[in-house]
Amino acid sequence: MSQKITIHDIARELNLTSGTVSRALNDHPRISDATKKLVKEKATELKYQRNKIASSLRSGKTHTIGVIIPSAQMNFFGSVVHGIEMMASSNGYSILLYQTEETAALEIKAIEAFLSARVDGILASVAKETVDFSHYNELQKRNIPLVFFDRTNDELKVPSVVVDDYKGAFLATEHLIQSGYLRIAHVSGPQQLKTFNERLRGYKAALEKYSIVVEQELIYQGDISIEAGRAAVDYFFTLSDIPDAVFAVEDYSALGVIKGLKDRKIRMPGEFGVIGFANENFGEHISPSLSSVDQQTVQMGKEALGLLMELIALKENKPGYPLREKIVLEPLMQFRQSSTGKTISIKQAKNNTTLANLS
Amino acid sequence: MSQKITIHDIARELNLTSGTVSRALNDHPRISDATKKLVKEKATELKYQRNKIASSLRSGKTHTIGVIIPSAQMNFFGSVVHGIEMMASSNGYSILLYQTEETAALEIKAIEAFLSARVDGILASVAKETVDFSHYNELQKRNIPLVFFDRTNDELKVPSVVVDDYKGAFLATEHLIQSGYLRIAHVSGPQQLKTFNERLRGYKAALEKYSIVVEQELIYQGDISIEAGRAAVDYFFTLSDIPDAVFAVEDYSALGVIKGLKDRKIRMPGEFGVIGFANENFGEHISPSLSSVDQQTVQMGKEALGLLMELIALKENKPGYPLREKIVLEPLMQFRQSSTGKTISIKQAKNNTTLANLS
DNA sequence: GTGAAAGCGCTAACAC
DNA sequence: GTGTTAGCGCTTTCAC
C-alpha cells in the first residue's frame, strides 16, 4: 500500500495540532526552533511527503509552470527546455511540458490543461500554424503570467525572450556581402511569425546598407525544412539572373539549399555562399560546414524562466521588480566554410565550361 | 482578476446542486442527457475551467506522470520525450519533466517532487552517476508505478523499454563483414553502462559467427564523443596491421572516426567502412553519409508510456492487462554510404601510391 | 435522475 | 508560540 502520512499523524504523535505542524514544516517565523526541529524529525521518521495537491488547493499557488513547445524532438527546443527546467528546478518550480506539433489545436489543448492545472505561469513558443491568438488572449484576460520565447507575436503585448533576429540576419547577410558575393537571395519562413519576419527585415537592411537593390524575385517564400531549401534552389535556377549566395531563415532550409546546390554540382564556397540560422548541431559536421547564427538556446530558456518569475512576483504584489517587456539576446555568429570567400561566379564557371566544351 | 467560476456557480444558475453538475461534466451514466447538455452549455458560456487540483485531491488521481531524463539538450532524450508526451497527451495525461544532469542528487530531488505532486506514475532514464538505487526502491515500496527506458538497472525489478543493443551491434558488424571488410575494429564506450557493454558483446559475436578472431588490439576503449573517434583512428594507424573498418559504439564516435580518416585522406567507403549507433540527425547529412543503428527513440517513448499506463491500470485493479516485464525494440539498420562495399584495400592503395611515386 | 452532506490534506485568519 | 476553525473546489457515498 502506498503510504498516507499526513500532518495530522505528525501532530498526534507530538501532541500538537496540524496547524502548528504545517507552520513548522513551512518555517513559519513564530514557531519555536525546538518544535520545528521536533516536527521535522518526526516527519522524516514517518517518511512524510507533503501533499502538494492539498497545499495548492488551499494556497492557490501550485509552483508549477506550463511550457509549450512545438516539439521536444527539435534540438533547438530541447535545448531551451534544458535551460528552463534547470532554472525552474532551482527556484522550486516544476514544469509541465506540452508539445504542439506546430498545430493550433494542440496549442489550445495545452493551454486548457494548464488552466485546469492552475499553473502559476506559462512559457510558450508559438506553433507555426497558429494565426488566431485568442487562446493566448484568454490567458491575459485571466491574468496568468505568460512569456513567449523565440516564436513571438507583436499584436499581443506579451513579454518575450528572443535572440536579435534582425541583427543576426543583418550580420549574416553582411558577411556574405563582405565575402564577395554579389547577388544574395533569401529563403524566408512563415511571415506571420515575427521571428522570421525580422530575419527578412535584417536581410533587406544589410543589402540596403551596401546600396544593393532588394529584388523581390530573390526572396523565396519558404519554410523551415530541407524540402523548402531544395525547392528554393530549383526556383532560383529558373531566374534569368541566378543568385550566388543564400541567407536561409533556418539551418534546415540552409541544408536543403546545400543539398540542392550539390545536386547541381555547384561549388561551395566559392561559386556559391550559404549561411543559415539556429546553429543546429549538424551544421558543423556537414560539408561544407554550415555558417550559422547561434541563438543561445540554453540562455534563452533561463532568461525566459527568469522573466516569468518576475511576472509572478509582480502579480503577487511583491515590489522591487522592474518589469522588462522584452529580453533580446545577442546572436552569436558562427562563420564556417559554407560562407567563406567568393572565388568565381557561376557565369564565369559556365563560360569556362562552354569554353572547355568548345576546345 | 483571474476568473474563478466553480461548479457551484453553474449549479446556482441552473437550479441544480454541485453534485449533479460534477456528474454531468464527467458524463456520469445516471444523469439525463438533457441536464448534461444544459450543464455543458452553461459551463462553456461561463468559461468554466475544471479545477484539476481539487479534483485530484478528492479523487486521488492526478493524471500526471513524472519523467526523469539526464538532459533535454541531448537529442536522444528530446526524441524520447517527444514520444512520451505525444502518447501521454492523447491518453489525457500531463507530464512533469525533471532533468538529472547525470547526477544522483537531482534524481533524488526529482523523485521527491514527484512524490509530493502525487504523480500517477514515473518514467525514468537513470543518471550515469547513479550507483545507489534506494530512491527508486522507495518508489516500489510505495507502490508507485515505475518504468525505466534506455538506461536500466538489472538489480531492481523494474519494467523497462530498451533497444536490442546486442542485436544492433551484431547486425552492424555483420554488415561490414558482408560488405567485404576484413579487419573490423570497434570503438567502445564506458563499460559500466550495460548499453555499451551489450554493443561490445554484439560486435564480438558477429566476428565469431564468421570465424574471425576477436583481437584485443582492435578494440579501442573510447567514449561517446568526436574526440574519442579521432583518437581511435590515431591509435589504429599505429598498428602493424591496420583495420579496414570500424563499428563505433555511437554516432559521435563514428563521426570522429570519419573526420580522422578524412584527415588521412582515406577513401570512404571503399578503402574503409564505418558504421555507428544511434542514428543521430547529422548522420544522413554528412559525407559520406553515416550508416547507423536507429534506436527508435520516439517509439521507445511511446512504449514506455504504454507500459506505464498498463501498470497504472493494474494498480487500479482493472483486469485484462498482462504485464510485460521488458520491452525490447528492434534496432533499425540504416545503411548509408559510409559502410557500402569494399573496393580496395589500404595496402593496395599504398602500393598504388608507391608505384605512382616511382613512375 | 438528482439532492444532501461529508471530506480529500492542507493553509491561514483569528484567537489568546 | 500554539490552538481553533473554516474552507479551497471537487467527488462520492448514501439517500429517495
Task: Answer whether any strand C atom is within 7 A of the Cβ of B12.
Answer: no
Q: Residue B155's pLDDT is what?
A: 78
Mutate which: A282, A287, A302, A312, vs B, most B CBs within 10 A: A282
At A243, which amino acid appears? P
Nearest by CB to A78, from B49, B51, B73: name it.
Answer: B73
| Yes or no, beta carbons of B281 and A282 under 8 Å apart | yes
Characterise A28 by phi-psi region: left (phi > 0), alpha (psi -120 to 50), beta (else).
Answer: beta
- Spatial contact of A276 and A251, defined as CB atoms under 8 Å apart: yes
Residue nearest to nucleotide D3 (CA to C1'): A17
pTM for the model stands at: 0.89
Query: CA dist B208 to B170, B203, B239, Å?
Result: 10, 9, 22
Separation CA B317–CA B295 (nearest Å): 33
Nearest to B99 by CA among A146, A298, A308, A2: A298
Q: Residue B325's pLDDT is what?
A: 83
Q: Residue B282's pLDDT is what?
A: 87
Separation CA A282–CA A271 (nearest Å): 23
Residue A351 pLDDT exceeds 90: no
Going residue by residue through chain B, which has 359 residues, state the pLDDT in tens, using 9 for 90 and above. Answer: 445 899 999 999 999 999 999 999 999 999 999 999 999 999 999 999 999 999 999 999 999 999 999 999 988 999 999 999 999 999 999 999 999 999 999 999 999 999 999 999 999 999 888 888 999 999 988 999 999 999 887 778 899 999 999 999 999 999 999 999 999 999 999 887 788 999 999 999 999 999 999 999 999 999 888 999 999 999 999 999 999 999 999 999 999 999 999 999 999 989 999 999 999 888 988 889 999 999 999 999 999 999 999 999 988 875 555 567 899 999 999 999 999 987 766 555 555 544 444 33
Q: Which helix (H) or strand (E) holds B341?
A: none
> Chain D: nucleotides under 7 Å from a protein CB?
1-5, 7-13
Q: Residue A355's pLDDT is what?
A: 41
Nearest by CB to B75, from A54, A78, A101: name it.
Answer: A78
Nearest to A38 by CA among A53, A50, A23, A54: A23
* Domain ranges within chain A, ordered by starting residue: 7-50, 64-160+297-328, 165-295+335-345
Q: How far apart are the first and last CA of chain A?
A: 89
Q: Residue B321's pLDDT is what?
A: 52
Nearest to A298 by CA among B89, B101, B81: B101
Q: What is the CATH number of domain A7-50?
A: 1.10.260.40
Characterise B60 by phi-psi region: left (phi > 0), alpha (psi -120 to 50), beta (else).
Answer: left
Separation CA B223–CA B189 (nearest Å): 4
Q: Residue B165's pLDDT is what?
A: 96
Per-residue pLDDT tens digits for A195-205: 999 999 999 99
Task: Answer whether any strand D atom is within 7 A of the Cβ of B221.
Answer: no
Task: Answer whether any strand C atom is within 7 A of the Cβ of A12.
Answer: no
Residue A345 pLDDT exceeds 80: no
Separation CA B219–CA B329 (nearest Å): 26
Q: How confident is the model at residue A99 (pLDDT cuts 50, 70, 90)?
A: very high
The cell numbers describing B165, all together, are: 543493443
> Chain C: nucleotides under 7 Å from a protein CB?
1-13
Q: In the CATH scheme, what architecture does the domain A64-160+297-328 have?
A: 3-Layer(aba) Sandwich (3.40)
Residue A172 pLDDT exceeds 80: yes
Characterise A202 by phi-psi region: left (phi > 0), alpha (psi -120 to 50), beta (else).
Answer: alpha
Separation CA B86–CA B315 (nearest Å): 23
Residue A4 CB contacts under 8 Å (≥ 6 apart), including other chains:
none
DSSP string across B70-139: S-TTSHHHHHHHHHHHHHHHHTT-EEEEEE-TT-HHHHHHHHHHHHHTT-SEEEE---TT----HHHHHH
Nearest to B69 by CA among B108, B125, B119: B125
Q: Residue A98's pLDDT is what?
A: 98
Phi, psi of B276 (to 5 degrees): -115, -160
> Which chain A residues are Cβ-neighbours of B1 within 8 angstroms?
143
- Same CATH fold assignment for domains B7-50 and B64-160+297-328: no
At B300, which amino acid appears? M
DSSP string across B20-59: HHHHHHTT-TTS-HHHHHHHHHHHHHTT----HHHHHHHH
Q: Residue B128's pLDDT is what?
A: 80
Q: How far is the CA of A98 from the C1' of D13 (A)?
A: 36
Strand segments, DSSP code E, in A27-163 are 64-69, 94-99, 121-124, 146-149, 160-163
Q: Residue B234's pLDDT is what?
A: 97
Q: Residue A318's pLDDT is what?
A: 59
Give, in words, the CATH class of B165-295+335-345.
alpha beta
